Structure 1
Amino acid sequence: MSENPCQLAKHDVKPFCLLVLLYFLQGVPVGLTFGTVPFLLKSMTKNTTFTQLGVFTMATYPYSLKILWSPIVDSIYSRKTGRRRSWIIPVQLLSGTILWILGVAVSKDLIFAGVDESYQSGTVPQNTSPSSLNIPSLTVCFLSLIALCATQDIAVDGWALEILSKESLSYASTAQTVGLNTGYFLSFTIFLTFNSADFMNKYIRTVPLQHGIVSLSGFLKLAGLLYLVVTLYIALFTKEKPTKIPALPTKKSDEKIGDLIDYNYDTNPAHQSLANVYRSFFKVLKLPSVQSLMIIHFFSKFAFQCNEGATNLKLLERGFKREDLAVTVLIDFPFEIIFGYYVAKWSGDSSDQTRPGLSSNPVFSNRIIRFLVGKTGTLTPWLWGFLGRLTAAFLANVLIAKFPVDGEITRGYFCMVVFQHLLGSFMSTVQFVGICSFHTQIADPVIGGTYMTLLNTLSNLGGTWPRLLVLSMIDRFTKYGCVLTKKVENDIVTEASCSAAGGDWVTIRDGYFVTNLFCITVGCWLYFGFIKKKAQQLQKLPPSSWQCH
Structure 2
Amino acid sequence: MGALAPRQRGCREQGQGASAAPGGQGDTELSDLVPPAPSRREEERRHKVSDQKPGGEVASDLTGEYGNIAILLVLYTLQGIPMGLSAVLPLILKERHVSFSDIGTFSLNSYPFSLKLFWAPVVDAAYIARVGRRKSWMVPAQLLIGILMIGLSSSLDSWLYVEEPRVGTLTCMFFLLYLLCATQDIAVDGWALTMLRKENVGYAATCNSIGQTIGHAMGFTGFMVLEQFGLITLPTFMFMCGVLFLIVTVAIAVFKTEKPVPAQDEPDDIVSAYRDMFRLFQLRAVRWLFLVLLTWKMAFAVTDSLAPLKFQENGIPKEHMAYMTSLLMPVYILLPVALARWTAGSAPFDLALKAYQLRVLVVPAIAILAYYTPKSVDPIPWGFYAAIMTVSLISAVASQAMFVSSMAFFAQVSDPAMGGTYMTLLNTMCNLGGMWPGTVTMNLVDGLSCQSESCTVKSDGFYTMAVVAFHVGVLWYVVAAPTAKWLQHLKPAEWRAHAANSVSAMACV
TM-score normalised to structure 1 length: 0.78
For 1:31, give the aligned amino acid: G
Residue 163 of structure 1 is matched in structure 2 by 195
5+ long unaligned stretches in structure 1: 115-127, 201-211, 243-264, 352-376, 483-491, 494-505
For 1:462, give the aligned amino acid: G
Count of residue correspondences: 444
Please tell me whether the aligned partners of residues 319 and 407 of structure 1 are also in contact (alpha carbons under 8 angstroms). no
Cα shift at 1:178 = 0.6
Aligned residues with identical type, % of pairs: 32
1:153-192 per-position Cα deviation (integer Å, ceiling 9, x unaligned): 0000000001000121110000000100110111011111
| C-alpha separation in 2, matches of 1:140 and 1:75 | 28
1:310 counterpart (306, 309, 329): 306
For 2:339, give the aligned amino acid: V
Find the residue that maps to 1:480 and give its secondary structure: coil
Residue 277 of structure 1 is matched in structure 2 by 273
Tell me: CA distance 1:3–1:402, structure 2 relative to 1, closer, same or farther (3 Å).
Answer: same
Tell me: CA distance 1:523–1:315, structure 2 relative to 1, closer, same or farther (3 Å).
Answer: same
| C-alpha separation in 2, matches of 1:135 and 1:323 | 22
Residue 109 of structure 2 is matched in structure 1 by 59
1:100 counterpart (136, 139, 150): 150
Find the residue that maps to 1:272 and give its secondary structure: coil
- Are 2:229 and 1:229 equivalent residues in the alignment? no
Find the residue that maps to 2:221 and give its secondary structure: helix
Tell me: CA distance 1:405–1:111, structure 2 relative to 1, closer, same or farther (3 Å).
Answer: closer
Cα shift at 1:15 = 0.7
1:323-382 per-position Cα deviation (integer Å, ceiling 9, x unaligned): 321221111110111111122221224x3xxxxxxxxxxxxxxxxxxxxxxxxx331111
Q: Which of 1 and 2 has greater Rg?
A: 2
Cα shift at 1:510 = 1.5
Find the residue that maps to 1:271 and give its secondary structure: coil
Tell me: CA distance 1:405–1:113, structure 2 relative to 1, closer, same or farther (3 Å).
Answer: closer
| C-alpha separation in 1, matches of 2:357 and 2:232 | 39
Deviates more, 1:275-284 or 1:310-319: 275-284
Find the residue that maps to 2:242 and give its secondary structure: helix
Alignment of 1:288-307 (within 5 A): 288-307=284-303
Residue 422 of structure 1 is matched in structure 2 by 393
Give the RMSD, CA atoms, in angstroms: 1.8
Residue 371 of structure 1 is matched in structure 2 by none
| C-alpha separation in 2, matches of 1:48 and 1:461 | 25
| C-alpha separation in 2, matches of 1:458 and 1:154 | 14
1:74-123 per-position Cα deviation (integer Å, ceiling 9, x unaligned): 011101101000001111111100000001222xx343244xxxxxxxxx
Cα shift at 1:420 = 1.4
Find the residue that maps to 2:305 and give its secondary structure: helix
| C-alpha separation in 1, matches of 2:214 and 2:468 | 32
For 1:39, give the aligned amino acid: L
Residue 503 of structure 1 is matched in structure 2 by none
Residue 510 of structure 1 is matched in structure 2 by 460
- Are 2:267 and 1:241 equivalent residues in the alignment? no
1:27-55 per-position Cα deviation (integer Å, ceiling 9, x unaligned): 0111112x111111112x1x211111000
- Are 2:456 and 1:456 equivalent residues in the alignment? no
| C-alpha separation in 2, matches of 1:536 and 1:154 | 27
Residue 403 of structure 1 is matched in structure 2 by 373
Please tell me whether the aligned partners of residues 270 and 276 of structure 1 are also in contact (alpha carbons under 8 angstroms). no
Alignment of 1:31-430 (within 5 A): 31-33=84-86, 35-43=87-95, 45=96, 47-106=97-156, 109-114=157-162, 128=163, 132-196=164-228, 200=229, 212-241=230-259, 266-268=262-264, 271-349=267-345, 351=346, 377-408=347-378, 409-430=380-401
Cα shift at 1:270 = 5.3
Residue 441 of structure 1 is matched in structure 2 by 412
Find the residue that maps to 1:508 and give its secondary structure: coil
Tell me: CA distance 1:9–1:401, structure 2 relative to 1, closer, same or farther (3 Å).
Answer: same
For 2:247, give the aligned amino acid: V
TM-score normalised to structure 2 length: 0.84
Please tell me whether the aligned partners of residues 272 and 447 of structure 1 are also in contact (alpha carbons under 8 angstroms). no
Find the residue that maps to 2:267 and give its secondary structure: helix
| C-alpha separation in 2, matches of 1:266 and 1:399 | 55
Tell me: CA distance 1:36–1:275, structure 2 relative to 1, closer, same or farther (3 Å).
Answer: same
| C-alpha separation in 1, matches of 2:171 and 2:318 | 23
Deviates more, 1:434-443 or 1:390-399: 390-399
Cα shift at 1:475 = 0.9
Please tell me whether the aligned partners of residues 42 and 48 of structure 1 are also in contact (alpha carbons under 8 angstroms). yes
| C-alpha separation in 2, matches of 1:136 and 1:219 | 22
1:262-298 per-position Cα deviation (integer Å, ceiling 9, x unaligned): xxx6434753321222222111111000000000011
Find the residue that maps to 1:323 and give its secondary structure: helix
| C-alpha separation in 2, matches of 1:420 and 1:226 | 34
Please tell me whether the aligned partners of residues 6 and 345 of structure 1 are also in contact (alpha carbons under 8 angstroms). no
Find the residue that maps to 1:82 and give its secondary structure: coil
| C-alpha separation in 1, matches of 2:427 and 2:452 | 44
Tell me: CA distance 1:479–1:8, structure 2 relative to 1, closer, same or farther (3 Å).
Answer: farther
Cα shift at 1:511 = 1.1
5+ long unaligned stretches in structure 2: 1-47, 499-509
Please tell me whether the aligned partners of residues 307 and 396 of structure 1 are also in contact (alpha carbons under 8 angstroms). yes
Tell me: CA distance 1:383–1:231, structure 2 relative to 1, closer, same or farther (3 Å).
Answer: same
| C-alpha separation in 1, matches of 2:69 and 2:333 | 15
Please tell me whether the aligned partners of residues 104 and 439 of structure 2 are also in contact (alpha carbons under 8 angstroms). yes
1:241-267 per-position Cα deviation (integer Å, ceiling 9, x unaligned): 28xxxxxxxxxxxxxxxxxxxxxx643
Cα shift at 1:448 = 0.2
| C-alpha separation in 2, matches of 1:19 and 1:84 | 13
| C-alpha separation in 1, matches of 2:402 and 2:423 | 16
Cα shift at 1:429 = 0.5
| C-alpha separation in 2, matches of 1:507 and 1:169 | 55
Cα shift at 1:545 = 0.7
| C-alpha separation in 2, matches of 1:459 and 1:48 | 29
Tell me: CA distance 1:313–1:507, structure 2 relative to 1, closer, same or farther (3 Å).
Answer: farther
Tell me: CA distance 1:164–1:269, structure 2 relative to 1, closer, same or farther (3 Å).
Answer: closer
Tell me: CA distance 1:32–1:283, structure 2 relative to 1, closer, same or farther (3 Å).
Answer: same
Please tell me whether the aligned partners of residues 25 and 227 of structure 1 are also in contact (alpha carbons under 8 angstroms). yes
Find the residue that maps to 1:404 and give its secondary structure: coil
Residue 540 of structure 1 is matched in structure 2 by 489
Residue 15 of structure 1 is matched in structure 2 by 68
- Are 2:77 and 1:24 equivalent residues in the alignment? yes
Tell me: CA distance 1:6–1:340, structure 2 relative to 1, closer, same or farther (3 Å).
Answer: farther
Find the residue that maps to 1:55 and give its secondary structure: helix
Tell me: CA distance 1:269–1:534, structure 2 relative to 1, closer, same or farther (3 Å).
Answer: closer
Please tell me whether the aligned partners of residues 65 and 457 of structure 1 are also in contact (alpha carbons under 8 angstroms). yes
Tell me: CA distance 1:157–1:269, structure 2 relative to 1, closer, same or farther (3 Å).
Answer: closer
